[in-house]
Amino acid sequence: MDSPLGLLAELTYRCPLACPYCSNPLNLAGYQDELTTDEWLRVLTEAEDLGVMQCHLSGGEPLLRRDLVRLVAHAHALGLYANLITSALGFSRPRAEQLRAAGLDHVQISVQADEPTVSDRIAGIPSFRRKIEAMGVVKELGWPLTVNVVLHRHNIDRVADVLALAEEVGADRVELANTQYYGWAWRNRAALLPSRAQLEAAETVVRAAHERLRDRMDIVYVIPDYYSRYPKPCMGGWASRQLTVTPNGDVLPCPAAQSLPLPRASVREDPLERIWAEAPVMTAFRGTDWMPEPCRSCPRREVDFGGCRCQAFLLTGDAARTDPVCYLSPDHGLVARAVGAANADSRDDDPPLVPRPHRPGLPPVAR
Give the C-alpha separation, 96 to 338, whole Å.
43
| Residue 295 is labelled as binding a ligand | no
Q: Contact at 8 Å (CB) between 48 and 76?
A: no
Other CB atoms within a 10 A radius of the CB of residue 245 amount to 25
Q: Contact at 8 Å (CB) between 267 and 282?
A: no
Other CB atoms within a 10 A radius of the CB of residue 367 amount to 9
**Amino acid identity for residue 331 in this structure:** D
| Residue 308 is labelled as binding a ligand | no
Alpha carbon distances (Å) from 134 to 11, 89, 145, 173: 20, 8, 10, 16
Kindly give the pairing relationship between strand 54-58 and strand 6-10: parallel
Angle, nearest 10°, between helix axes 128-140 and 93-102? 40
Alpha carbon distances (Å) from 19 to 24, 179, 181, 223, 259: 10, 12, 13, 20, 19
Q: Contact at 8 Å (CB) between 118 and 158?
A: yes
Give the C-alpha separation, 349 to 330, whole Å.
31
Give the C-alpha separation, 356 to 184, whole Å.
6
Alpha carbon distances (Å) from 339 to 162, 177, 191: 25, 18, 12
What single-letter DSSP state applies at residue 20? T
Assess whether the previous peptide bond of 306 is cis (omega < 30° from 0).
no
**Burial per residue of 150-175, b for 16 or more beta-carbon CB atoms within 10 angstroms, e otherwise:** bbbbbbbebbbebbebbbebebbbbb
What single-letter DSSP state applies at residue 357? P
| Residue 22 is labelled as binding a ligand | yes
Binding positions: 15, 19, 22
Binding positions for [4Fe-4S] cluster: 15, 19, 22
